[in-house]
Structure 1
Amino acid sequence: MSSPSQRPPKAPRGRLGTGRVASHVAVMAAVAVVMGVLTACLAIPFAGLAGVAAKDVSEGMVNLPESLEAKDLSQKTRIYDVNGNLIASLYDQNRINVPLGSISRPMVKAIVAIEDYRFYDHGALDLKGTLRAFITNQANGGAVQGGSSITQQMVKQTLLYQAETDEEKAAATEETYARKIRELRYAIAFEKNHTKDWILERYLNIAYFGDGAFGVQAAAVHFFSKNANDLNLLEAATLAGLVKNPVGYDPIDNPERAESRRNVVLDRLAQLGVLSEKKADRLKGTPIKKTLKVKASPNGCQQSSAPFFCDYVVNWLLKDPVLGDTVKERRRTLNNGGLQIHTTIDLDMQKAADQAVSDGVNPTDQAIGGLAMVEPGSGDVRALSQSRPMGKDKAAGQTYLNYTVPKAYGDANGFQAGSTFKAFVLASAINQGIPLSTTISAPQTIHLDDDEFETCDGPYAGDGKGWDPENSTGAGTYNLYTGTQESVNTFFAQLETQTGMCEPLELADAMGVDVPVAQQVPSWILGVSDADPLTMAQAYATFAARGLHCDPRPVTEVLDSSGNTLKDFAPTCEQVMPGATADAVNDILRGVMEGGFGAPLAIDKPSAGKTGTTNSNMAVWFVGYTPELATASMVAGANEFGEWVTLNGQTVGDSYISSAFGSTVAGPIWGQAMAAVSSKLDYVDFTTPPGDEIAGVLTTVPDVTGMSPEEATQTITSAGFTAADGGQVNSEATAGSVASSSPDAGAQLSSGDTVTFYTSTGYVPPSNGGKGKGRGGKGRG
């Protein structure tokens, strides 16, 4: 604004000049006379600014500080998804600070015109305005109002904003001359130490514009769905008119009064020559309702598109000292620090999780459904969803408890995870060299003495009664493949006597699953400890990542209000088992999806999984994964009193459950969610476990017919077998190519077993006078 038609003339923007200081002294003297205050007393604190010796003028004014510290303004914190989309805001005051250069010129013109049109010409005090207001106040019985410069208004707002006690708040708003004098003293200090532009910028950022919007940027977004830099003259006039009475002129609740006030601002702009009267009249003819495009300013996690993920992020960050030394300081930083929090959530996956959970379990069911998605190899948390929405209306099934995460982050105790814990014993058995083809006779029930289970400190010392596990799947003889895929309790109880309890418990701990000491009993492998979907998803992600365990990571980076990195959160990962061990677990658990309990849930990508069902069917689980995504689904019985109940006989998600199992109740939720996100996943297969490292791996014999001996050898070896050339057989196949193999293609063998291939002679000897047809086979040529 370089001319009167652009903005009122302004004074130099450096420190306060001698002329302006002298003007302040003269003004204060004049005001003091009019107010009946001793001129010397009132002028004294400011006379020093004009060069008078401080020792001659400071007495009697010791209660007026020389300056006011302008603390940083609170700003709302914004939480973003993995693609940079806003998912939540946190704030005590809805404010986003912007520099003056990011505020439109019409907005600057409008606020100066209506609030202090000589702002750039006078010092901290507008003498004409103050005297005029004083005379008016005297005529109205001595009330103190009006006449304040923008600098004085900024001081008042600063005092109110920085007030920490009720007394300080009252002092910042009291209608007394003492407050005016105090504000003027601070205003002069600000004018001395800062430029006019700095003062105007702070004023526009601290001012309240109504309906919860603090500062011009938040107001522009809220009322017009645009940034402050894009405000036009009509919108700027509306906002400039609000600061006088944000409630009374609220354009949403009081559109008529707001429009009238806006027109006052337009008339003032025309009067000052900022715009023509003709243009002002034309703008005034626009109804204010037509200019509004109100955008809600959600605050907190409850209004987020991912409320329980947001809640997890907040509680996770509240434990990080980078935001402050205490939880109170960290919460203040979160709500007022203007942080930019970049998270790992994928809203497509979150939407899929929400839909699957809501389809499976209703909010008011006597059950709770939960689901978590975690990326193997990074620990990035992609989605968290539960059936009970966030809120306080218990009749509607709402809750503030986050059942999808550990208690430290969600205040819920979790649920027994059932047979999903068997995977820790399975992995330990493989790691100890127990062949996958090992068979164990597993009767319907079995008794095992306490001392048959070895702990880290020796034989388990229980109560002497031992353990009597029982199957829900029948009896039989099983190997590590079939015993796991059918989740046979008495099989795993005996397998635990071979592995001992020590290594499986240590492995569970390394994979992020805590088993309390009191629950470290032989039956722990049946999932008697409480867990949550996030814990189980990140644990099974370890198998998907070939033994690399990564702690759950909901946040990747936190930036401060200036966009500088406050902290980077790198993945926290550790190799907790050999890759070959994890490969073998994956090979076994993929069988659950390819012919076991999980077969109806299989998606169009290679996947593996494990079911879990607790005693009395009070909680059921399905934890499944691909090499790129691990997902845990859970449904637990819970009545309106918060008591755990059986799912049997319940109607959950509009379906009656006669007997609940992980594959039939939790599994379909997993399957629906994973099918919905499958298109986001690459087709990546699991690594075949190497037969030279994992004994007894069962692998399908590949079809090598028609190949050259060299190609057949390579194919058989790549599948994990030992290739052997069995020589030639008579066959119609091309001479020199493979005619057949033993075992035949499709058979199951352990890794390292021998597959023999036979090459064709290309000749079939005649039979019965040379009229018979030859046959391919394994006969020697």
Structure 2
Amino acid sequence: MVMGVLTACLAIPFAGLVGVAAKDVSAGMVDLPESLEAKDLSQKTRIYDVNGNLIASLYDQNRINVPLGSISRPMVKAIVAIEDYRFYDHGALDLKGTLRAFITNQANGGSVQGGSSITQQMVKQTLLYQAETDEERAAATEETYARKVRELRYAIAFEKNHTKDWILERYLNIAYFGDGAFGVQAAARHFFSKNAKDLNLLESATLAGLVKNPVGYDPVDNPERAESRRNVVLDRLAQLGVLTEKKAERLKGKPIGKTLKIENSPNGCQQSRAPFFCDYVVNWLLKDPVLGDTPKERRTTLKNGGLTINTTIDLDMQKAADDSVASHVYPTDQAIGGLAMVEPGTGDVRALAQSRPMGKDKAAGQTYLNYVVPKKYGDANGFQAGSTFKVFVLASAINQGIPLSTVINAPEEMNIPDEEFQNCDGPYAGDGEGWNVSNSTGSGPFNLYTGTQQSVNTFFAQLEVQTGMCEPLKLAADMGVKVPLAQKVPSWILGVSDSNPLEMAQAYATFAARGLHCDPRPVTEVRDSSGEVLKEFAAQCEQVMPGATADAVNDILRGVMEPGGFGQNIAIDKPSAGKTGTNQNNMSVWFAGYTPTIATAAMVAGANEFGEWVSLNGQVVGGSPIYEAFGSTVAGPIWGDAMSAISAKLAYEDFQAPPGDEIAGVLSTVPDVAGQGVEAATATLESAGFSVADGGQVNSEVAAGSVASTSPSGGTSLSSGDTVTLYTSTGYVPPPPSNDAGNGNGNGGRGNGNGNNGQGRGGGRR
């Protein structure tokens, strides 16, 4: 009936006045669908740290949808009063309002103004929001009666299919309030730093006045016009009896500037408290089909889906990482510094930091390349990790039963023929010239402890001959470090492959977790806009080496942090272990170290303003000249400062000593088994990793048949697998020899009667 009345009494005359054929209007109405699908409104995605602190927001439109029950009653009353005070009394069309607008429009030249109900305004906003082409956007905003008729038809359908409260809720969530704030919740946060449910009458009047002209009435840019518009709303509320005229006048006297408390909503990772971690999270999630079938769909979901993303970052650790990197490498240095922290046993990424800030100002050292994560997540190629790769051969050697006490003579330089290296298919087939390898740390005999702690190249080259190349390369891959096929050459153990701090931190975290390798995990959970769990991301872990092997590696690498080790000057007040790395020509240096609860990898690489890799030697980095770069002196202090800053929050936990009965060559203390039975003593020594030999009987006060002593004695350090000799007690201690010469010949012959323990009483004759 309403449609018929409108067409017969209003549409045709109006169309004639504005030059639009009535038949075109009516034909357009017939062609329209009976209802309009109201698609979900875009909402901003929020990213939180491990403790629930917001670290970043992503959005195309700054909007947070809220139900009508979460919007204050003053706000609801204000918007209804100024936009459509009869909203709950009429249908889709407010006939009085439309007629009033028609009379006003004709008096002003026939332009289409006012008269729209809240439902019609919601329809217009929905059409504009859902427009995908320029033509659709133009049709949603054209100043014609044809548009008004289209909106009315859709409005009638909405009124038929939805409640008034549903329509008002959608209107308050879709409306634009200015300065980038879409919807009443985002507007309340932006202009007043509070939620929509907490808006008072004065704040509500301000926001209600904005929807008519969000730009012209912007309270920040146009405070006088905004205040005047707010007062119009207050007057309207008084006119309708929502508040008294006296109260309205009192409220109007408060300057709008004193009511504002602007809260900006940063958009994107660049404005985040952890920009490169945020960037890593975004790129990591863009690989997950849970957000969509294609990268484009996933990106749309990320920026418009209103997701809640719970991550693993710890802002205390992030600050420590940022501060340390920034103090040692400046943005415009001819070098790049980076650091990553990973939790052993979960793979949770706790911090990512680099010296070059996020941005496009190259003169200020800014970049969008994320140097601390793998290329597929950050677009940077990485850097050669130097001797940090040696641990893969070390672990393989231990796993193969090579004793830690194994001594290898390591000269200053040597050539090792190609065929001495075994790969997975047999002897390595190189160019026939062999591997010319040299040291920078001296020469001599080294065992697995000293050879690793001094990082001796020729020692590890010969150890690789013993282990072969196949197992160490597989172990590296299992620990998250994949060496390209072209670089699977004997010298790969010197770190000739490109890597990144995150990759090395998660690899070393495997040792800290006693052989359990976990893939890096930046996100634990994603929830949709309704709060329902979209996906939980469980830790992806696998035991890649025996716990005993990892214990032995830890026992060796903790020596790097002890007096005499390369890391002694950066050691913290918790048990720690580590390994230095320096590549050829000192173009990059590393320090990868860990405690049982956190693994951290720090790196500094030479890079000039053209993006070309250069040597660190001769550079001024962090305000200090570098004459010759080493992992311990350039990257190590970054590690040390960051770890010292978080040490107080780390639980005190020591590494587990390697079991001598499983690892050959462990330097262990011989247990004191004197007084024990032979069977019990043997079991104790064997459980400590030693072989046991029978040394026969000795005179002793210890009970007969029990252990009198061992060789070496208890408390002595010995390599596991070495032999400890047991001596059992006779239970007899002969009396001391007599000094009485007069009786010397009496019983001298008895010396032979008591075996080896016989003593002549005669004073020297036997």
Cα distance between partner residues in 1 of 2:516 and 2:315: 26
Partners of 1:27 and 1:680 in 2: CA distance: 72
- Distance in structure 2 (CA, Å) of the matches to 1:710 and 1:230: 78
Asked whether the 8 Å contact 2:192–2:262 carries over to 1, the reply is yes
Q: Does 1:686 align with 2:682?
A: no
Q: CA RMSD in A?
A: 3.0
Q: Can you give the 5+ residue segments of structure 1 that lack an aligned partner in the other structure?
A: 1-21, 47-57, 732-737, 770-779
Q: Cα–Cα, structure 1 residues 744 and 24, in superposed 2: closer, same or farther, change >3 Å?
A: farther
1:62 is displaced (CA, Å) by: 3.5
Answer whether contact 1:207 1:216 (CA < 8 A) is retained.
Answer: yes
CA contact (8 A) 2:660 2:666 kept: yes
Partner of residue 324, structure 1: 292
Map residues 93-492 of structure 1 onto 2, 5 A cutoff.
Answer: 93-492=61-460
- Which residue of the partner structure matches residue 616 of structure 1? 585
Distance in 2, matches of 1:208 and 1:123, equals 24
Letter in 2 for 1:657: I
Q: Which residue of 2 aligns with 1:647?
A: 616
Q: Determine helix, strand or coil for the equivalent of 1:89.
A: strand
1:670 aligns with 2:649: no
In structure 2, relative to structure 1, the CA distance for the partners of 1:131 and 1:591 (3 Å cut) is same
What SS is found at the alignment partner of 2:270? helix
Deviation at 1:717, TM superposition (A): 7.7
Q: 2:10 matched to which residue of 1?
A: 31
Asked whether 1:749 is paired with 2:718, we answer yes
Distance 1:266 1:711 in 2: 93
Measured against aligned partners, the alpha-carbon deviations of 1:294-332 in whole angstroms (never above 9, x if no partner) come to 111000000100000000000000000010010000000
d(CA) in 2 for partners of 1:400, 1:121: 56
TM-score by length of 1: 0.88
Distance 1:270 1:709 in 2: 102
1:213/1:174 CA distance change after superposition, 3 Å: same
Q: 1:358 to 1:434 in 2, by over 3 A?
A: same
| Alignment partners' CA distance in 1, 2:676 and 2:235 | 91
Q: Distance in 1 between matches of 2:504 and 2:392?
A: 12
Contact 1:27–1:127, Cα closer than 8 Å, also in 2: no
* CA distance in 1: counterparts of 2:209 and 2:608, whole angstroms: 54
Cα distance between partner residues in 2 of 1:79 and 1:66: 40
Counterpart Cα distance in 1 of 2:713 and 2:309: 57
Shift of 1:703: 9.0
1:574 aligns with 2:553: no
Contact between 1:689 and 1:720, CA under 8 Å: does it hold in 2?
no
Distance 2:60 2:398 in 1: 54
> Shift of the alpha carbon at 1:635?
0.4
Give the deviation of 1:63 after TM superposition: 2.6
- Counterpart of 1:598? 567
Tell me the SS of whatever aligns to 1:62.
Answer: helix
Are 1:543 and 2:511 counterparts?
yes
1:739 to 1:230, Cα distance in 2 relative to 1, 3 A: farther
- Please say if residues 661 and 688 of structure 2, whose CA atoms lie closer than 8 Å, have aligned partners that are also in contact: no
Question: C-alpha displacement at 1:600, in angstroms?
Answer: 1.2
Q: How far did 1:608 drift?
A: 0.9
Aligned residue identity for 1:171: A
Q: Does 1:630 align with 2:599?
A: yes
Query: For residue 215 of structure 1, what is the amino acid of its counterpart?
Result: G
% identity of equivalent residues: 81
Could you say which residue in structure 2 is the equivalent of 1:16?
none
User: Which SS does the other structure have where 1:167 is aligned?
Assistant: helix
The answer on whether the counterparts of 1:729 and 1:758 sit within 8 Å (CA) in structure 2 is no
Structure of larger gyration radius: 2
Q: Distance in 1 between matches of 2:259 and 2:698?
A: 88
**Partner SS state of residue 601, structure 2:** strand
| CA distance, structure 1, for counterparts of residue 594 and residue 726 of structure 2 | 35
* Counterparts of 1:720 and 1:701, CA distance in 2: 9
Shift of 1:66: 1.6
Where structure 2 has 5 or more consecutive residues not aligned to the other structure, the ranges are 702-706, 740-756, 758-766
Residues 250 and 710 of structure 1, relative CA distance in 2, 3 Å threshold? farther
Deviation of 1:277 after TM superposition, in Å, equals 0.8
Offset at 1:80? 0.7
Deviation at 1:743? 5.2
Once the two structures are TM-superposed, the CA of residue 396 in structure 1 deviates from its matched residue by 0.8
Contact 1:622/1:662 (<8 A) preserved: yes
Residue 512 (1) aligns with residue 491 (2): no
**Partner letter of residue 218 of structure 1?**
A
The 8 Å contact of residues 24 and 125 in structure 1, kept in 2 or not, is answered as no
Equivalents in 2 of 1:421, 1:36: separation in Å?
Answer: 80
| Deviation readout 1:331-359 (Å, 9 max, x if unpaired) | 00000000011111111111111111111
Q: 1:390, 1:398 within 8 Å by CA — same for their partners in 2?
A: yes
- Bigger mean CA offset, 279-288 vs 720-729: 720-729
Amino acid at match of 2:72: S
Aligned residue identity for 2:503: T
| Residue type of the alignment partner of 1:492 | F
Q: Secondary structure at the match of 1:428?
A: helix
Alignment partners' CA distance in 1, 2:236 and 2:462: 90
Q: Return the letter of the residue paired with 1:345.
A: I
Contact conserved, 2:661 with 2:687, CA < 8 A, in 1?
Answer: no
The number of residues matched between the two structures is 730
Instruction: Output the TM-score relative to the length of structure 2.
Output: 0.90
Q: Which amino acid aligns with 2:134?
A: D
